[in-house]
Amino acid sequence: MTARFRAYLPGGVGSRLGGTLFFGLAILGTIALLSIIGPFLTDASLAQVGAVTPRRPPGGDYPLGTDAQGRDMLALMVHATPATLKMGLIAGVIGVGLGSVLGLIAGQFGGWVDAVIRVVSDSLLTVPAIAILVVIAGSIDRMTTGIMALVVASLSWMFTTRTVRAQVLTIRERGYIEVARVNGETPMEILFREVMPNVMPYIVASFVGTVSAAILAIIGLEALGLGSQDEMTLGNTIYWAQQSSAVLRGFWWWWAPPIVVIAMIFVGLFLTSVGFDRFANPRLERR
What is the contact surface with another protein in residues (CB under 8 A)? 4, 7-8, 10-12, 14-15, 174-176, 178-180, 182-185, 194, 197-198, 286
CA-to-CA distance for 270 and 21, rounded, in angstroms?
9
To another protein, the closest distance from the beta carbon of 169 in angstroms equals 16
Residue with Cβ nearer another protein (22 or 176) = 176
CA 172 to chain CA mean position, Å: 29
- Closest distance to another protein from the beta carbon of 115 (Å): 22
Residue (67 or 194) nearer to another protein, CB? 194
Q: How far apart are CA 197 and CA 161, in angstroms?
A: 16
User: Considering the complex, what minimum distance in angstroms separates the CB of residue 18 from another protein?
Assistant: 15
Nearest to 27 by CA among 72, 81, 79, 90: 81
Among 166, 221, 243, 151, smallest CA distance to 198 is for 166
Among residues 61 and 178, whose Cβ is nearest to another protein? 178
Tell the smallest beta-carbon distance from residue 284 to another protein (Å).
14
Q: Which is nearer to another protein, 9 or 274 (CB)?
A: 9
> Rounded to the nearest 5 degrees, what angle is found at the Cα of 176, between the Cα atoms of 174 and 178?
85
Distance in Å, CB of 176 to another protein, minimum: 4
CB of 113 vs another protein, minimal distance in Å: 22
What is the distance between the alpha carbons of residues 145 and 34, in angstroms, rounded to a whole number? Answer: 20
| CA-angle at 26, arms to 145 and 44, nearest 5° | 40
The residue among 14 and 111 lying less far from another protein, judged by its C-beta, is: 14
In the bound state with another protein, the residue whose beta carbon lies nearer, of 134 and 185, is 185
DSSP codes of every residue in 234-262: HHHHHHHHHHTTTTTTT-HHHHHHHHHHH
How far apart CA 84 and CA 140 sit, in angstroms, is 19
